[in-house]
Amino acid sequence: MVGFKVEYYWYQIGSGDFLYAFFSTIASNLENRIWGNRFPTIMTQLYQGKIDNASIAKALEELKIIKKELKQFSPDEIVWDLDDPSKQPPWGKNNSSEITDLSNYFITNEGKDFIILLFNALDKAMELNTDLRIKSM
């Protein structure tokens, strides 16, 4: 189980595979398979486990663009694993009818929209003037 930690706030995501699928989808569909090419704060700093406080505003800007651009891709354009394109989500292609594109594809194991959860965690980090970290529980 992984999540975002901001001081004493915990934002539960789900499995590490789920989080990697988010990064893989961005790298494949929005960065021409060049990891961190367009979104270095999200794709490099966050992927490495931490966005420092000085980069939170930049991460928010990148996430807004990511969300907007992922709307242009259908759910079947998901990339579960950039290194192994044959891998599919555990649920296969059986998506909820509420999932209309890749901007709302990622739903945490608690039923929350992952991108909104990340926005909330980044906002909290900005409010508290602190870092955002990825942690395992």
66 has which bridge partners? none
In sequence order, the 6+-apart residues with CB closer than 8 A to the CB of 112 are: none
For residue 134, name the pLDDT band (cuts at 50, 70, 90): very high
Of 14, 66, 22, 70, whose CA–CA distance to 47 is shortest?
22
pLDDT at 90: 77
- Residue type at position 28: S
Tens of pLDDT, residues 89-123: 877 777 777 899 999 999 998 999 999 999 999 99
pTM of the model: 0.94
List C-alpha distances in Å: 77 to 11, 32, 39, 108: 26, 14, 19, 19
pLDDT at position 80 over 80: yes
